[in-house]
């Protein structure tokens, strides 16, 4: 479980996160949604210690994020950041292999290669594994970054907008792979999504943030309603049911 207790964050005089308390249970997929600037990336950044905690506490399986060593934490929790700048002279396989660093410290074993191969396969990268990153399309590079995070083989995987740049086919394939990973490998996945229909279709739970606070938290059926979505995003979003599944349609002109 990721336990977030009374967490606040300020940049200068601006309060970004305001006394957030929320727990993310072990297992399954939790989607983090909310408007631009709500604080989603900041919260994930604190949980993975990309940012130092200023106030409050965060623990992952009872390991305090602020006092646990980086070595131990890197085997527990992996994060794909929203913005990534990776060396373009790397091959896809080399990038994905970086995910093994907390385990191998640069000396890849047979087991590391097995996990790298599996990650490449899971995210549809096997055939381009020897290509240089700067020869890939934006979506192909994005998939390689997700594979690198997965390759770290942690219990917790935090993915900040992993669907960026993906076409409909690969977005849907990625969500299916994540669902499969959560179900069959007991991983806990926290994923920031702007397309709430993916959140509604694939997540077990949706946490919505707005203005540095958690404003809704529940099962997809509870959040995928006109009332809840209207409160989160500040405009009317019709929701229809397709085969019993709620689908939001924010397209009306």
Ligand X SMILES: Nc1ncnc2c1ncn2[C@@H]1O[C@H](COP(=O)(O)OP(=O)(O)OP(=O)(O)O)[C@@H](O)[C@H]1O
Using CB under 6 A as the binding rule, the residues of this chain from 82 to 101 that contact ligand X are 82
The answer to whether the Cα torsion of 237, 193, 175, 135 is positive or negative is positive
Q: Using alpha carbons only, how large is the chain's radius of gyration in Å?
A: 18
Closest residue to Mg ion using C-beta atoms: 41
Q: Quick one: which segment of 30-38, 53-61, 171-179, 219-227 binds ligand X (CB under 6 A)?
A: 30-38
Sites for Mg ion among residues 80-109 (CB under 5 A) = 82
- Residue 39 contacts which entry, ligand X, Mg ion, none (Cβ below 5-8 A, type-dependent): ligand X
* Integer CA distances (angstroms), 201 to 31, 63, 83, 248, 250, in order: 10, 31, 25, 11, 16
Look up tokens 């959040």; give the residue.
223
Longest distance between any two alpha carbons in the chain, whole Å: 56
62: contact with ligand X by CB under 6 A: no
What whole-number distance in Å separates Cα of residue 128 and Cα of residue 71?
A: 31
Phi, psi dihedral angles at 113 (to 5 degrees): -65, -35
Cβ proximity of 53 and 229 under 8 Å: no
Q: Does residue 7 belong to the site contacting ligand X (CB under 6 A)? A: no
Q: Which of 5, 6, 10, 37 binds ligand X (CB under 6 A)?
A: 37
Does residue 129 interact with ligand X by CB under 6 A? no
Q: Could you give the string, one character per residue 40-79, with x where binding to Mg ion holds by CB under 5 A and - elsewhere?
A: xx--------------------------------------
Q: How far is the CB of 48 from ligand X (least distance, A)?
A: 13
Residues that bind Mg ion (CB under 5 A): 40-41, 82
Residues that bind ligand X (CB under 6 A): 11, 16, 34, 36-42, 82
């Amino acid at each position: 479980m990721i336990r977030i207790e009374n967490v606040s964050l300020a940049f200068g005089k601006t309060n970004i996160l305001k006394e957030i308390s929320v727990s993310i249970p072990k297992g399954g997929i939790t989607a983090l949604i909310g408007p631009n600037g709500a604080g989603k990336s900041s919260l994930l950044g604190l949980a993975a210690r990309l940012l130092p905690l200023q106030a409050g506490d965060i623990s992952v399986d009872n390991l305090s994020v602020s006092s646990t060593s980086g070595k131990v934490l890197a085997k527990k929790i992996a994060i794909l950041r929203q913005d990534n700048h990776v060396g373009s002279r790397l091959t896809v396989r080399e990038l994905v292999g970086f995910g093994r660093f907390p385990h191998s410290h640069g000396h890849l074993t047979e087991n590391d290669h097995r996990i790298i191969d599996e990650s490449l396969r899971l995210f549809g990268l096997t055939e381009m594994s020897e290509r240089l990153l700067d020869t890939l399309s934006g979506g192909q590079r994005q998939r390689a970054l997700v594979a690198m995070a997965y390759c770290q083989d942690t219990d917790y995987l935090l993915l900040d907008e992993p669907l960026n740049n993906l076409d409909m086919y690969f977005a849907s394939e990625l969500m299916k792979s994540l669902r499969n990973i959560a179900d069959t490998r007991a991983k806990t996945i926290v994923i920031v999504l702007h397309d709430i229909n993916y959140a509604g279709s694939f997540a077990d739970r949706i946490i919505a943030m707005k203005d540095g606070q958690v404003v809704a938290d529940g099962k997809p059926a509870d959040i995928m309603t006109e009332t809840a979505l209207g409160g989160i995003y500040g405009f009317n979003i019709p929701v229809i049911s397709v085969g019993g599944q709620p689908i939001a349609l924010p397209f009306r002109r």
